[in-house]
Structure 1
Amino acid sequence: MSTEEKIYLYPVWLRIWHAFNALGILVLIYTGLNMQFAKPGFELIRFDLAVTLHNYAGIIVSISYLAFFIGNIVTSNSKYYKIKPKGLRKRLFKQIRYYTYGMFKNEEAPYPISEKRKFNPIQKYTYVVVMYLMVPIIIITGIALLLPELIIEEVYVLSGIFLTALLHAIIGFLISIFLIIHLYFATIGKKPLSNFKSILTGWH
């Protein structure tokens, strides 16, 4: 690919955020699994250490998310997340067809990356749900679990702490699944490592 064909998609601030966020989430997943399934005689790491690391990683990811949110407000990066409901179903089915059939037949991607479009329709709406719905929920429930006095004691005869922890765990599981899918789709490029190189250099 020539220099003229390259597109600068990932500014420095976004790459730094991505690195902190990725490392923080990996620590959260690892320590979260340990806290969820630890029992006498089986611990990936000491339970108290897992709790401490989970709390610190959660704080770092929360601050990182705040930087992402502000960055999207003050830079042009927000344009990639704008929702366009008109024709959404058609765009989604077109992209689904490509993922399930077209790319295995070496067809051209229906929504190639450009300066105006960083994500295809499936990526865009998935990222919007994850970054603007799931992540805020997991941050809010995480803060509530750190400060349990903020949680309503009882909701329909169920413990407020239990419901908060349950929601936190469910969203954490969904984000973990998203991460696995995200890593897989990152390998779908001109070469398997092309997209990973892009997030390091900024150039697609």
Structure 2
Amino acid sequence: MENGKKLYLYPLWLRIWHGINALGILVLIFSGISLHYSTRGALLLRFDIAIAVHNIAGVIITFNYFIFILGNILTKNGQHYRVKVQGLPKRLMKQILYYTSGMFKGESSPYPVTEKRKFNPLQKYSYIFVMYIFLPALIVTGIALLFPEMIIEKVFRISGVMITAVLHGILGFFVFLFLLIHLYVASMGKPPGKNYKSILTGWHS
């Protein structure tokens, strides 16, 4: 952080988007698990309720995603997602060494937060991968399952719907893993609740 001063890194639109996205993803995870494991007397959602909740949450997440894309196009937030290939392996390794060793020795972060650099290299490219590859693929497969007539009937003699459903499930699982890692990394602030407070107030200190 620059000169120890507070940085306004999370404008209101981004905080609202983040809140809707986080809640929506949690609903999708719970309802998605329910779709796979719902049985009579189970503690999870009943199948018909789970599918309705999952579809509604999916539609909300889809519209919310377009707000994210539009916000990154129209505001400065987009600068944090620009790819810089030169020196990338070295930057990634430096951050990996910090996470696996340096931080436990009390070393300072090699990439402290600044107004122009909100994410360290590992965060940045993880977010790019999830937000610009995984999530769009999850949305597209979800829309296809919502309107199965759009799906190719057979792919190498395998049901197109089954392939789409399996791919959707795999993508959902990886988004779930990302969420767990995201929550863990966010807890690394000093004190641990610092980063959570930042996304609520907009200010990083």
Q: Do the structures match in fold with TM over 0.5?
A: yes
Q: Cα distance, 1:106 vs. partner?
A: 0.6
| Cα pair 1:31 1:53 within 8 Å, conserved | yes
TM-score scaled to structure 1, two decimals? 0.97
Task: Supply the distance in 1 between the matched residues of 2:95 and 2:160 (Cα, whole angstroms).
Answer: 41
In the TM superposition, 1:23-62 aligns within 5 A as 23-62=23-62
Q: Cα distance, 1:41 vs. partner?
A: 4.3
| Cα pair 2:8 2:202 within 8 Å, conserved | yes
SS at match of 2:7: coil
Q: In 2 relative to 1, CA 151–133 (structure 1 residues): closer, same or farther, beyond 3 Å?
A: same
1:99 match: 99
Q: Cα distance, 1:45 vs. partner?
A: 1.4
| Cα pair 1:34 1:43 within 8 Å, conserved | no
What is the identity, as a one-letter code, of the residue corresponding to 2:71?
G
Task: Supply the distance in 1 between the matched residues of 2:43 and 2:200 (Cα, whole angstroms).
Answer: 34
Task: Supply the distance in 2 between the matched residues of 1:100 and 1:188 (Cα, whole angstroms).
Answer: 13
After superposition, give the CA deviation of every residue in 1:82-129 in whole Å (9 maximum; x if it has no partner).
011111110001000000000001100000000010000000000000
Unaligned runs of 5+ in 1: none
Task: Supply the distance in 2 between the matched residues of 1:116 and 1:45 (Cα, whole angstroms).
Answer: 44
Task: Supply the distance in 1 between the matched residues of 2:94 and 2:125 (Cα, whole angstroms).
Answer: 14
What is the identity, as a one-letter code, of the residue corresponding to 2:30?
Y
Q: How many residues align?
A: 203
Q: Cα distance, 1:39 vs. partner?
A: 3.3
Task: Supply the distance in 2 between the matched residues of 1:197 and 1:185 (Cα, whole angstroms).
Answer: 14
What is the identity, as a one-letter code, of the residue corresponding to 2:80?
Y
1:90 equivalent to 2:90? Answer: yes
Identity of aligned residues (%): 58
Unaligned runs of 5+ in 2: none
1:183 match: 183
What is the identity, as a one-letter code, of the residue corresponding to 1:145?
L
